[in-house]
Amino acid sequence: MTEALCDRRPEPSLERLLADLVPPPRFARARLDNYVPDPDFPSQEQAKQRVGEFAAALGAPRAGFLSRLRKKKPAAARGIYLDGGFGVGKTHLLTSLFHAVEGDRVYGTFVEYTDLVGALGFQRAVDLLGESVLVCIDEFELDDPGDTLLMTRLIRELSDRGVAIVATSNTLPDALGEGRFAAQDFLREIQAMAERFEVLRIDGEDYRRRNGVTEIATLPEDEVRSSAETMPGATLDEYDALLTHLTKVHPSRYGAMIDEVSAAHVTGMHGLTHHHDALRFVVLVDRLYDREVPMLISLAGGTDPGTLEDLFSAELLRSGYRKKYFRALSRLASLARDGGALLSSGAADAAS
């Protein structure tokens, strides 16, 4: 019988949470050498060069412990904020930096750090992360005031300890002409330490769209079910049941929930109109994307292949969470394309 994600209720240990603070599988091989800037957008090459310089500077010898004790106030830590639209290579550059720097360093999404603080307590998290040379924060979120204040305080205390912080966030596609939309929000929130951050604006097109991924492709339900039943390690879930299950599992555990899943099959997908369902589904899509788990999906009542339209309602896309929703649409389109390719590959193998 095919397993369902709805059957899984992971209880990851603290050790697991800490072990997960590394770049996800999708970007494990990302290096500056294989980041290929788009020549139509010079800011990509400029960001690549600056990140390389930043990595080299972090490799310079740091002051010894006694030397730091003699200082009345530690030197302001260096930091970079990578600002740009979806799919322009910010995460690639961030993981490249992680791999280019030696010593203790950690990498996680904004949500993973807030979860870690929740599990450890604030001061213990500061003490633990404060031993790092570099803290990488992907997908810095500005839509929840409480979490934003928590993270800016964490960044400030780590920076005061001499820890370099590098963060990324998304500028909405329709805000690219407005100047540093996300950067302005970020710097306003951390104005007490804004002078410590260098903002690098990265322009460009979503590479997933350059690869032809523009729509969320769906399959007939019988094909989705058949694939799930014959594919080792696959899961099969009905969409509404999955949304209900996500309310019972903390988002910090979604990564553990998809351990060893080869492909996620979901039937009966439809549009979402409420934030509580949409935001949980966004986190699941992010974790599936990070771990390169393809998705094969069918529409509610769908007997023919097609595309999923209006996954998020117009109201949701106008809300303060819109950056998350647009990112999820881009990533879900990519995952669905991977799922379709997986199905085609299986059919070709069966025919040969």
Q: Where in the chain is the domain with CATH 3.40.50.300?
A: 31-205
The pLDDT value given to residue 345: 77
pLDDT at 212 over 70: no
Close Cβ partners of 294 (under 8 Å, ≥ 6 residues apart)? 263, 264, 335, 336, 338, 339, 341, 342
Helix (H, G, I), strand (E, B) or coil at 10: coil
Taking every pair of Cα atoms in the chain, the longest distance, rounded to a whole number of angstroms, is 73
Residue pLDDT, tens place only, 232-248: 999 999 999 999 999 99
DSSP class of residue 314 equals: H
* C-alpha separations of 310 from 205, 227, 271, 329 in Å: 22, 25, 6, 10
The pLDDT value given to residue 183: 57
Cα 175 from Cα 331, distance rounded (Å): 19
pLDDT at 69 over 70: no
For residue 340, the number of C-alpha atoms closer than 13 Å in the C-beta half-sphere is 17
Name the band, by pLDDT with cuts 50, 70 and 90, for residue 198: confident
The pLDDT value given to residue 100: 95
Name the band, by pLDDT with cuts 50, 70 and 90, for residue 250: confident
For the chain, the residue count is 352
Question: What stretches of 67-155 adopt beta strand conformation (E)?
Answer: 79-84, 105-109, 134-138
The pLDDT value given to residue 302: 74
Residue among 167, 204, 9, 184 nearest 88 (CA) = 204
Least confident of 30-34, 114-118, 122-126, 213-217: 213-217
Residue pLDDT, tens place only, 277-311: 999 999 999 999 999 999 999 998 877 778 888 89
β-strand pairing of 306-307 with 164-170: unpaired
Name the band, by pLDDT with cuts 50, 70 and 90, for residue 52: very high
pLDDT at 73 over 60: no
Cα 288 from Cα 295, distance rounded (Å): 8
The pLDDT value given to residue 249: 92
The pLDDT value given to residue 71: 47
Tokens linked to 240: 């509404």
What mean pLDDT do residues 311-335 have?
A: 89
Q: DSSP letters of 214-267?
A: -S-EE--HHHHHHHHHHSTTEEEEEHHHHHHHHTTS-GGGHHHHTTT-SEEEEE
Close Cβ partners of 215 (under 8 Å, ≥ 6 residues apart)? 307, 308, 333
The pLDDT value given to residue 235: 98
Cα 290 from Cα 236, distance rounded (Å): 20
The pLDDT value given to residue 148: 77
Residue among 128, 130, 154, 136 nearest 80 (CA) = 136
pLDDT at 51 over 90: yes
Strands ordered across the beta sheet of 164-170 = 105-109, 134-138, 164-170, 79-84, 197-202
**Phi (first) and psi of residue 267, to 5 degrees:** -110, 155
The pLDDT value given to residue 175: 45
* Residue 165 or residue 196, greater confidence: 165
Residue among 62, 63, 135, 138 nearest 105 (CA) = 135
β-strand pairing of 217-218 with 306-307: antiparallel
Tokens linked to 193: 């330490």
Name the band, by pLDDT with cuts 50, 70 and 90, for residue 182: low
Mean per-residue pLDDT over the chain, rounded: 84
Q: Are 212 and 75 in contact (CB under 8 A)?
A: no
CATH superfamily, domain at 31-205: P-loop containing nucleotide triphosphate hydrolases (3.40.50.300)
Place of tokens 């370099």: 164
Least confident of 35-39, 124-128, 199-203: 199-203
Residue pLDDT, tens place only, 251-266: 888 999 999 999 999 9
